[in-house]
């Protein structure tokens, strides 16, 4: 493609809408926060800050532990994007790793890694997939606009309209004397 070849009309808008649709079907922001929280946790234990001619090394005895925590947070963030069914596990694991990063890696990357991991993990646990919108032509399926929903008539198990009959199929209702206990006879 040369510089003079125009892009397809609306291609950017189409890709942006595709990304928006993809992002809406998964805990995207939780994954982004968890992913980004891993980098400061990995970086600060190995960082060398220079102040003029003075070099400060913030190495910790648990430098390898910080590296493992940071890599796990990055992997959990990516897995939240592409494996949305493990959101509860990944969210709880991110919260636990964020808490472990406080003593292991310079107070969780000086809070720059701890807080996003904690918030992202909580967002992942709390996320639920939205209900898809109803089709435009499905107006006749619901109740009348502005009216209250009507209760369904009570029917027995066999389809008759005798509501006083028991719907208990286990045979353990207090009405027949079993009261939830079975005898060994």
> Could you read off the pLDDT of 42-76 as tens digits, one per residue?
887 777 777 788 776 666 666 788 889 999 999 99
What's the pLDDT score for residue 117? 93
* Domain range list for the chain: 27-126
Condensed to tens digits (0 to 9), the pLDDT of residues 12-48 reads 888 888 888 888 888 999 999 999 999 988 887 777 7
DSSP string covering 129-172: PPPPPPPTT-GGGSPPTTSPPPPPPP--TTS-S-TTS----SS-
The pLDDT tens digits for 90-121 are 999 999 999 998 888 777 777 888 899 999 99
Note the pTM of the prediction, 2 decimals: 0.62
CA dist., res. 84 & res. 35, Å (int): 15
Instruction: Read off the tokens for 143.
Output: 């109740």
CA atoms within 13 A on the CB side of 91: 20
pLDDT for res 32? 94
- The residue written with tokens 């990063």 in the block is 101
């Amino acid at each position: 493609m040369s510089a003079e070849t125009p892009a397809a009309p609306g291609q950017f808008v189409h890709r942006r809408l595709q990304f928006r649709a993809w992002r809406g079907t998964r805990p995207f922001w939780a994954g982004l926060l968890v992913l980004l929280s891993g980098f400061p946790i990995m970086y600060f234990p190995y960082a060398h800050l220079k102040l003029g001619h003075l070099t400060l090394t913030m190495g910790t005895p648990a430098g390898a532990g910080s590296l493992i925590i940071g890599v796990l947070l990055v992997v959990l963030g990516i897995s939240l994007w592409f494996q949305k069914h493990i959101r509860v596990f990944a969210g709880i694991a991110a919260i636990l790793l964020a808490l472990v990063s406080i003593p292991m890696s310079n107070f969780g990357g000086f809070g720059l890694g701890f807080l996003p991991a904690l918030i992202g993990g909580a967002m992942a646990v709390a996320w639920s997939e939205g209900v898809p919108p109803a089709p435009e032509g499905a107006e006749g399926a619901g109740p009348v606009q502005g009216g209250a929903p009507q209760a369904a008539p009570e029917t027995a198990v066999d389809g008759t309209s005798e509501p006083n009959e028991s719907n208990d199929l286990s045979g353990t209702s207090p009405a027949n004397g079993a009261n939830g206990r079975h005898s060994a006879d």
